[in-house]
């Protein structure tokens, strides 16, 4: 895993083998950030990274200069790794150990970008998306990005689908 751009460009990170994660591939991450950068400046943006795992996406946003990133995961070891890496790289990331749905239910803050990468066999993609939208957690002109595999679809909604190998991103604009 590496940070592609920003203050920590080309920095390689080695996550412990014991973490139950599937980090977003560099190819997919590079394509995703190219899409985002074509529309937004990162300064003064606030990011929520759900199902953060290793913190791969959180580090990328923070390295590119967003104001703040909140990384949520329910795995203790993932949170500890994010905290350790955040301290080593001096990034503005707050790691929170929580179930992501419970976090969303109690959240009162709005974000410019929300990135969600639940396990591909996750059953609650639609519930998670609806909760984010119904609670108005995305600021005007913000993005909700959900990473998933080919088995998950959001039909009939204002969504753009991007595919990179086996990785799919559903991108919702507000």
What confidence tens digit (pLDDT) does each residue in 104-134 have?
Answer: 999 999 999 999 999 888 888 989 999 999 9
Check residue 97 and give its pLDDT.
98
In a domain, 105, yes or no: yes
Determine the pLDDT at residue 131.
95
The answer to the question of residue 95 being in a domain is yes
Q: Give 73's contacts (C-beta < 8 A, 6+ positions apart).
A: 51, 52, 53, 79, 82, 95, 96, 97, 98, 100
Residue 19 belongs to a domain: no
Q: Encoding tokens for residue 66?
A: 């967003």
Instruction: State the residue range of the domain holding 44.
Output: 26-173
Condensed to tens digits (0 to 9), the pLDDT of residues 134-167 reads 999 999 999 999 999 888 888 666 789 899 988 9
What's the predicted TM-score (pTM) here?
A: 0.94
Q: How many domains does the chain have?
A: 1
Q: Does residue 16 lie in a domain region?
A: no
- Using a pLDDT cut of 90, give the percent of the chain over it: 74
Is residue 71 domain-resident? yes
Q: Which residues pair with 93 in a beta bridge?
A: 69
Residue 151 sits in a domain whose CATH number is: 3.40.50.150
Domain annotation covers residue 12: no
DSSP string, 17-36: TTS---PPPHHHHHHHHHHH
């Amino acid at each position: 895993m590496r940070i592609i751009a920003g203050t920590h460009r080309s920095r390689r990170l080695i996550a412990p083998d014991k973490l139950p994660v599937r980090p977003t591939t560099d190819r997919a991450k590079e394509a995703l950030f190219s899409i985002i950068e074509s529309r937004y400046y990162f300064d003064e943006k606030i990011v929520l990274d759900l199902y953060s795992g290793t913190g791969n996406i959180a580090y990328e946003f923070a390295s590119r200069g967003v104001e703040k990133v909140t990384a949520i995961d329910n795995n203790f070891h993932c949170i500890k790794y994010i905290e350790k890496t955040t301290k080593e790289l001096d990034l503005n990331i707050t790691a929170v150990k929580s179930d992501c749905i419970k976090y969303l239910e109690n959240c009162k803050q709005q974000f410019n970008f929300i990135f969600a990468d639940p396990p591909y066999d996750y059953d609650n993609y639609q519930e998670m998306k609806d909760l984010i939208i119904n609670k108005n957690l995305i600021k005007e002109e913000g993005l909700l990005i959900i990473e998933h595999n080919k088995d998950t679809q959001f039909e009939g909604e204002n969504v753009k689908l991007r595919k990179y190998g086996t990785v799919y991103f559903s991108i919702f604009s507000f």
